[in-house]
């Protein structure tokens, strides 16, 4: 959802990097930073011993850090601290040839050198590449040196900050002095893994959440929801999830249903489930100030609301009109909020969408609460403080409460929660998307680097509004966007009120055919994609990865914006400009193009897919929804390396629930080896308690200019002749 005014960045900390550096240089003479080792290759720096003693609890880290001793004498990164104009700052010099990445949810290019971003969660409807403050804040930079080694810098503060990468790494922020945590590793992959260990890992999602999602502001009434769902099934276009935006509510009151347009949500959910759909419904934090509204009544009795500086309850306008806002910094309030989900989910709702949770406030220039509003935060978050301290984590604490409520209401099922606002570490609670984008080619092009930088900032599960939220666009744009968006981690089409219809069939038969092919590709790749999601949940590696992960020392891969790696074995090369020019440049060696059929290869709106040398990728059948068909046969794509070998894993579990935590899963390891003119493929269980299944394997061996195929029983060996 969105506010009514076009976003203008709130940049209270603006100033050129050069001017700030001149002042910093003057202040550095008195700086005496202290450092301590807090892990292997991880050092925490503070401006002084006094700053270390006075540091607030971290709102980024999953657990407090323990000092292990002094920092290594040869640690290569040296933050320099200074305080000027009442703000505390840090500068880190970087060597020539160093690429800078991460910085969270930002528009513009993948390579962040020469860019600046303001960390202040903002309702940014209509944002563009000049907008410096978006919906989320990630005080984090990944630096990749010319030799491929890397370091990451976490500025551990929730206050509004400015991260300036025009001359090295410069960060300064409101609020008290803050620690700086530096991770030193031999590769960017290793840095991102260490970041996840510090800030938390994405929990494993239910498998249906990896399917395609269809949304609009809003599908209403319930008959329109059924019509859209029927449109997917009748046209044989894969889809797993239909979303309900804010208009399903009774007067925009969260946890209610409009008695006229959604009189029987349980029946609607039941009917959609019968057609293979899941549903996700929106909940906003602004609670209508209405004594007859049960949520307002309960929250008032609990004294749950955020307060003004004078102690009275803060009231601000959002969609319902005058609203109050839960103080999610209090465990008591989060527990109450979590409890509201039991009856709500009992209607058959599968997932929850938390929106407008920056928090967004209408009719005020700041677009949010006054900074002197008061949060009665618990001691583990730092105790009572003003909104300036807790603004950037308000959305994250909201989805923390939401996730706990969904988990408690359905203890045997994995929660799916989506959030617009978040902070570094928010991947522990929710997936996210890139907010209210626009239906134009610039936003299409930005989709890839935005998702890549979110992944490099600890959030593996994200995607854009496919087709663009604001504005109409046209069929050419929509087809191209579906081709790309269907291969990003979170694949959801979404559009704004007042725009044209944007279902996959809305632009005519040619665009519909491209959308069908694009989504069929995603569903064929779901066994591999689910395997990559499992890897992300365990290691913290992104699902969508920049090309330089394949070779961090290759300078030609450092700024590629129109291609990405899906996991470690599949490369996606896209066209992001309106003309049908060449796709993204693919590394010179080690990759072999593949398609799922001649129509895919001939469709210029679909990205080209490549398989890594030495890899085996498991794929499945075309399905209209996850679980419609058994994974039998498994189709293996095999690309031998120079030694005539290849290997790959397939992760399988129940797709929902938590049995996998107790070993109820299997990792099937496939190995291929060239034997004369043939290729021999074997499979075995490498991990988990599930045995090897009784099913068939279909094997496609991708050769330099052709391919061979064969099939046989799982466990093999399966021999493919004609190498």
Q: Domain containing 152 — which CATH number?
A: 2.60.40.1760
CA distance 250 to 261: 9
Q: Where in the sequence is the domain holding 98, given as residue range(s)?
A: 17-199
CA distance 345 to 95: 53
For residues 76 and 213, the answer to whether their CB atoms sit within 8 Å is: no
The average confidence (pLDDT) of the chain is 94
* Average of per-residue pLDDT across 652-672: 98
Q: Kindly indicate the confidence band of residue 2, based on its pLDDT and cuts at 50, 70 and 90.
A: very low
Q: Is 166 among the domain residues?
A: yes
Burial class (CB in 10 A: 0-12, 13-18, 19+), 591: buried
Q: Which two tokens stand for residue 105?
A: 């949810």
Task: Between 723 and 654, name the one with better pLDDT.
Answer: 654
- Predicted pLDDT of residue 22: 57
Q: Which two tokens stand for residue 350?
A: 């599968």
Q: Is 472 among the domain residues?
A: no
Q: What angle do CA 219, 220, 226 make, to 5 degrees?
A: 75
Q: If residue 521 lies in a helix (H) or strand (E), which one and from where to where?
A: helix 509-524
Question: Is the N-terminal amide bond of 633 cis, ω within 30° of 0?
Answer: yes
Quick check: helix, strand or coil at residue 46?
Answer: strand
- Predicted pLDDT of residue 19: 56
CA distance 144 to 100: 6
How confident is the model over 55-71, as pLDDT tens digits?
Answer: 999 999 999 999 999 99
- Predicted pLDDT of residue 26: 54
Q: Is 155 among the domain residues?
A: yes
* Average of per-residue pLDDT across 503-526: 98
Q: Which two tokens stand for residue 501?
A: 């219809």
How confident is the model over 595-642, as pLDDT tens digits?
Answer: 999 999 899 999 999 999 999 999 999 999 999 999 999 999 999 999
Q: Is 137 among the domain residues?
A: yes
Q: Which two tokens stand for residue 33?
A: 């930073």
Q: Which of 46, 156, 327, 358 is catalytic?
A: 358
For residues 319 and 286, the answer to whether their CB atoms sit within 8 Å is: yes
Tell me: pLDDT of 53 over 80.
yes
For residues 211 and 238, the answer to whether their CB atoms sit within 8 Å is: yes
- Predicted pLDDT of residue 91: 96
| Sheet containing strand 634-639, strands side by side | 707-713, 696-702, 634-639, 615-619, 645-652, 666-675, 678-687, 718-720
CA distance 297 to 372: 25
Q: Is 209 among the domain residues?
A: no
Q: Is 28 among the domain residues?
A: yes
Q: Which of 46, 123, 436, 465 is catalytic?
A: 436
Tell me: pLDDT of 221 over 90.
yes
Q: How many domains does the chain have?
A: 1
How confident is the model over 164-213, as pLDDT tens digits?
Answer: 999 999 999 999 999 999 999 999 999 999 999 999 999 999 999 999 99
- Predicted pLDDT of residue 120: 98
Length of the chain: 723
How confident is the model over 15-45, as pLDDT tens digits?
Answer: 445 555 555 555 554 456 899 999 999 999 9
CA distance 7 to 11: 12
Q: Which two tokens stand for residue 708?
A: 């061979």
Tell me: pLDDT of 214 over 60.
yes
pTM: 0.95
Residue that the structure tokens 């994250």 belong to? 396
Query: Which residues, in sequence order, are CB contacts of 66 under 8 Å at separation 6+?
Result: 38
How confident is the model over 565-585, as pLDDT tens digits?
Answer: 999 999 999 999 998 777 777
Q: Is 632 among the domain residues?
A: no
- Predicted pLDDT of residue 641: 96
How confident is the model over 132-152, as pLDDT tens digits?
Answer: 999 999 999 999 999 999 999
Judge whether 358 counts as a catalytic residue.
Answer: yes
Tell me: pLDDT of 448 over 80.
yes
How confident is the model over 265-308, as pLDDT tens digits?
Answer: 999 999 999 999 999 999 999 999 999 999 999 999 999 999 99
Burial class (CB in 10 A: 0-12, 13-18, 19+), 259: exposed
Judge whether 436 counts as a catalytic residue.
Answer: yes
* Average of per-residue pLDDT across 114-123: 97
Q: Which of 355, 503, 512, 649 is catalytic?
A: 355
Q: What is the DSSP letter of 661?
A: G
Q: Which two tokens stand for residue 259?
A: 């008695």
- Predicted pLDDT of residue 23: 58
- Predicted pLDDT of residue 80: 95
Radius of gyration of the chain (CA): 25
- Predicted pLDDT of residue 387: 98
Q: Strand pairing partners for 611? A: 570, 592
Q: Is 293 among the domain residues?
A: no
Tell me: pLDDT of 554 over 50.
yes
Q: Kindly indicate the confidence band of residue 86, based on its pLDDT and cuts at 50, 70 and 90.
A: confident
Question: Is the N-terminal amide bond of 115 cis, ω within 30° of 0?
Answer: no
- Predicted pLDDT of residue 517: 98
């Amino acid at each position: 959802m969105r506010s009514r005014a076009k976003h203008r960045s709130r940049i209270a900390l603006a100033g050129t990097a050069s001017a700030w550096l001149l002042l910093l240089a003057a202040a550095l003479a008195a700086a005496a930073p202290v450092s301590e080792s807090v892990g292997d290759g991880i050092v925490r720096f503070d401006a002084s011993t006094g700053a270390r003693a006075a540091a607030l609890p971290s709102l980024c880290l999953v657990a407090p850090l323990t000092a292990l001793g002094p920092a290594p004498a040869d640690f290569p990164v040296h933050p320099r601290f200074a305080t000027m104009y009442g703000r505390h700052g840090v500068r880190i010099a970087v060597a020539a040839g160093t690429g800078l990445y991460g910085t969270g949810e930002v528009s513009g290019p993948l390579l962040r050198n020469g860019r600046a971003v303001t960390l202040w969660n903002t309702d940014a409807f209509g944002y563009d590449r000049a907008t410096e403050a978006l919906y989320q804040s990630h005080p984090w930079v990944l630096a990749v040196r010319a030799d491929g080694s890397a370091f990451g810098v976490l500025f551990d503060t929730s206050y509004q900050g400015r991260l300036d990468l025009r001359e090295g790494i410069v960060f300064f922020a409101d609020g008290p002095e803050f620690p700086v945590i530096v991770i030193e590793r031999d590769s960017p992959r290793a840095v991102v893994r260490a970041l996840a260990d510090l800030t938390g890992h994405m929990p494993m999602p239910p498998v249906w959440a990896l399917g395609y999602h269809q949304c609009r502001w809003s599908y209403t009434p319930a008959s329109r929801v059924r019509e859209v769902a029927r449109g997917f099934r009748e046209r044989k276009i894969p889809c797993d999830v239909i979303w309900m935006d804010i208009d399903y509510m009774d007067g925009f009151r969260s946890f209610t249903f409009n008695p006229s347009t959604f009189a029987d949500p349980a029946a609607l959910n039941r009917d959609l489930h019968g057609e293979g759909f899941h549903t996700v419904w929106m909940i906003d934090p602004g609670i209508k100030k209405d004594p007859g509204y049960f949520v307002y009544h309960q929250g008032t009795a609990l004294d749950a609301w955020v307060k003004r500086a004078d102690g009275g309850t803060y009231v601000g306008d959002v969609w319902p009109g005058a609203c109050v806002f839960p103080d999610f910094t209090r465990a008591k309030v989060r527990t109450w909020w979590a409890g509201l989900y039991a009856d709500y989910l009992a209607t058959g709702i599968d997932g929850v969408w938390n929106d407008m949770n920056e928090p967004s406030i209408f009719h005020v220039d700041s677009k949010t609460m006054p900074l002197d509003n008061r949060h009665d935060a618990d001691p583990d978050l730092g105790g009572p403080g003003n909104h300036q301290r807790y603004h950037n984590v308000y959305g994250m604490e909201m989805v923390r409460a939401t996730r706990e409520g969904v988990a408690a209401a359905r203890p045997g099922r994995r929660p799916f929660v989506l959030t617009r606002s978040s902070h570094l570490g928010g991947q522990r609670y929710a997936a996210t998307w890139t907010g209210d984008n626009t239906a134009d080619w610039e936003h299409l092009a930005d989709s890839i680097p935005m998702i890549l930088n979110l992944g490099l900032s600890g959030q593996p599960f994200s995607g854009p509004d496919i087709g663009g939220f604001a504005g109409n666009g046209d069929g050419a744009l929509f087809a191209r966007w579906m081709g790309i968006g269907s291969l990003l981690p979170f694949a959801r089409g979404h559009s704004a009120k007042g725009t044209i219809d944007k279902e996959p069939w809305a632009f005519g038969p040619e665009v519909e055919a491209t959308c069908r092919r694009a989504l069929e590709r995603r569903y064929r790749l779901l066994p591999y994609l689910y395997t990559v999601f499992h890897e992300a949940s365990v290691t913290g590696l992104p699902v969508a990865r920049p090309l330089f992960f394949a070779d961090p020392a290759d300078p030609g891969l450092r700024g590629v914006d129109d291609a990405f790696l899906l996991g470690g074995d599949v490369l996606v090369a896209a066209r992001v400009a309106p003309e049908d020019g060449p796709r993204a440049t693919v590394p010179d060696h080690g990759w072999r193009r593949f398609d799922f059929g001649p129509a895919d290869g001939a469709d210029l709106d679909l990205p080209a897919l490549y398989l890594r040398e030495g890899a085996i990728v498991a794929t499945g059948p075309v399905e209209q929804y996850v679980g419609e068909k058994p994974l039998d046969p498994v189709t293996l794509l095999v690309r031998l390396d120079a030694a005539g070998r290849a290997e790959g894993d397939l992760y399988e579990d129940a797709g929902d629930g938590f049995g996998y935590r107790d070993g109820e899963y299997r990792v099937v390891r496939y190995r291929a080896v060239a034997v004369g003119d043939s290729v021999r493929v074997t499979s075995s269980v490498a991990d988990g308690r599930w045995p090897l299944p009784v099913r068939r394997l279909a094997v496609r061996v991708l050769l330099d200019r052709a391919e061979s195929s064969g099939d046989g029983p799982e466990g093999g060996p399966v021999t493919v002749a004609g190498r």
